Chains A and B, each alone.
Chain A
Amino acid sequence: AQSVTQPDIHITVSEGASLELRCNYSYGATPYLFWYVQSPGQGLQLLLKYFSGDTLVQGIKGFEAEFKRSQSSFNLRKPSVHWSDAAEYFCAVGGFNNDMRFGAGTRLTVKP
């Protein structure tokens, strides 16, 4: 069965600094990989997804993620963080039935 690990529970970065959120997955076949963002009191919004092809995927709000099969990773990056990026970020892996498994989430705090 697929699983996802987000090693960092909470990350604090300064506004304007770069960001990398880590995600490792376990899945027997080529995975469908997703990053979602959840603002306080809101539902989840898709940032980006990877199915196949180019291993560097671009998403909304200036985010990108790189799929590295050898490391079973799908880390999320942003070159310059804005205060509005403060939220909870979830990595997820989807299987054949799209039974999506989510990581435990990483809470991002942005310092002024």
Chain B
Amino acid sequence: DTAVSQTPKYLVTQMGNDKSIKCEQNLGHDTMYWYKQDSKKFLKIMFSYNNKELIINETVPNRFSPKSPDKAHLNLHINSLELGDSAVYFCASSLRLAGDEQFFGPGTRLTVL
């Protein structure tokens, strides 16, 4: 059984388009996250939600909007895609906030042409 799943795995799109990435976890965790991994493998947190409430919102362009319909899902919607948005996006979840292990999804490779 997949613990943290993301769809799609690959996403190729044109500049200016709007796209969404979906994330689901079946671990019963309270907290979910989105990370961006750039071409140099650097991982940076973008958002975290705890019980559907936004907890962390790093300095991310407001073209990125997370949506958490319930505790098990955290989707990422990106408007007006730019070349610099090309990266691998990882979803993760943890049981609680402080100090718990985060379980990562397989990633979504976004390529903006």
Q: Which residues of A contact B (CB under 8 A)?
A: 32, 34, 36, 38, 42-46, 49, 51, 88, 90, 94-102, 104-105, 107
Contacts and interface: CB of A to CB of B under 8 A. Distances in A.
B101 interface: yes
Interface of B: 4, 31, 33, 40-45, 48, 55-56, 90, 92, 94, 96-107
Contacts of A94: 98-99
Contact of A105 (B4, B41, B45, B99): B41
27 contacts: A32-B99, A36-B104, A42-B106, A42-B107, A43-B4, A43-B104, A43-B105, A43-B106, A43-B107, A44-B43, A44-B92, A45-B104, A46-B101, A49-B101, A51-B99, A88-B41, A90-B43, A94-B98, A97-B56, A98-B96, A98-B98, A98-B102, A99-B56, A100-B33, A102-B43, A104-B41, A105-B43
Contacts of A90: 43
Contacts of A97: 48, 55-56, 97-98
